[in-house]
Amino acid sequence: MVSTLTASNHNRDVVGLRYVYPVLSRRAGGLSIGINFNPNNSCNWRCVYCQVPDLKVGAAPMMDFQLLEQELRCFLDDVLEGDFYERFQVDEDRRIIKDIAISGNGEPTSLKDFDKAVALIGKVATEVGVLPQGKFVLITNGSLMQRDSVQNGLKKLHEYGGEVWFKMDSVTEEGRALINNAGQSCQSSVDNLLISAKLCSTKLQTCLLNYDKQGLSLIEKKAFLDLLRGIKEKGCQLKEVMLYTIARQSLQPESERLERLSLEVLNAFADEIRLLGFEVLVSR
C-alpha cells in the first residue's frame, strides 16, 4: 500500500531505495529529494531529537556511486514524468521539487568521497533540469569541515549554486553535551562555521526545544546572540538563521523529556536576532 507523504513523516524507506527518498519539507515548502549517505544509521553525534532508529556512533559507509546515479535518475524521472505525486497523494500546491538535500540517517560529510558524491548529484540534477531552478542543500552538523574532501565538496556545491544548512542547536558546552552529545567544542564549531561560510552560501540551522520543561534559557539566548555578534565582527556572511522546533517523535532515550517550543518564543527570539542585522526564518 502506498503511503501519503506528509511533513511529519520522513521515512527514508518510503520508496524502497538505498540512497534516495522524498520528503515534504516544512522549511523547503514543497518536495525535497533527500540523499542519504548514511544508510547504516551511523553518526558522529547523537542529538536527543533524532528520529533515526537504532542510531549508532560511526561514519557513512563506502558509497556505491553507480547505484546512487541509477536511483537518482530513475526517481527524478518518476517525479518529473511519472505519476509519483498521484501515487503518494501529494497536494497540488506541493507538487514542485524545491530542493535536493544531502541529509539522511547520519552526518553526510563523514563519507570518504564526499566531494565525488556532491559532484555526481549536481551533474545528474543539472542534466535533468532540476538544477538550477531548485536548490541544492547540504544539511550538516559541520563537525568535519577541516577535511579536504569536505571543503572540496563545498566548493563543488557552490559551483552548482548550492547552500549549507549548518546545525548549531546550542553554543554553550553544557547545551551541546545535553542536546547533541557532541564531543567537539563550541569554538571548533564556530571555526568550522567560518570555513563553511567562506566556501559556500551558509545558513545557520537551530533546533530549539523544551527540555524537561526548562524552555529557552536566558543563558542559551545570550550565548547565541554573542556568537552572532562575534562572527559578524569577523566578517562572516551568513545567508540566514533558521529557527525551528521539533515536529516528530524522537527515537532517542530522552524522547519523553522533550516538548515543542511555542511559536511565540521562537518569534520573540527571532526578533532579537534580527536586531543584530541577520535574516531569520521561523518554522514550526
Q: Where are the domains of the chain?
A: 20-283
Q: Does domain 20-283 have CATH number 3.20.20.70?
A: yes
Q: Half-sphere exposure of residue 268, counting CA atoms within 13 Å on the CB side?
A: 9
pLDDT in tens, 204-249: 999 999 999 999 999 999 999 999 999 999 999 999 999 999 988 9
Q: Convert the pLDDT of each residue in 22-62 to its tens digit.
A: 998 665 568 999 999 999 999 999 999 999 999 999 999 99
Where helices occur in the chain by DSSP H, the ranges are 65-81, 84-87, 114-127, 148-159, 173-179, 186-199, 218-233, 263-274
Joined together, the cell numbers standing for residue 262 give 511555542
Average the pLDDT over each of 11-15, 81-85, 98-102 and give the range with the smallest value: 11-15
pLDDT of res. 1? 43
pLDDT at 94: 87
Q: How high is the pLDDT of residue 248?
A: 85
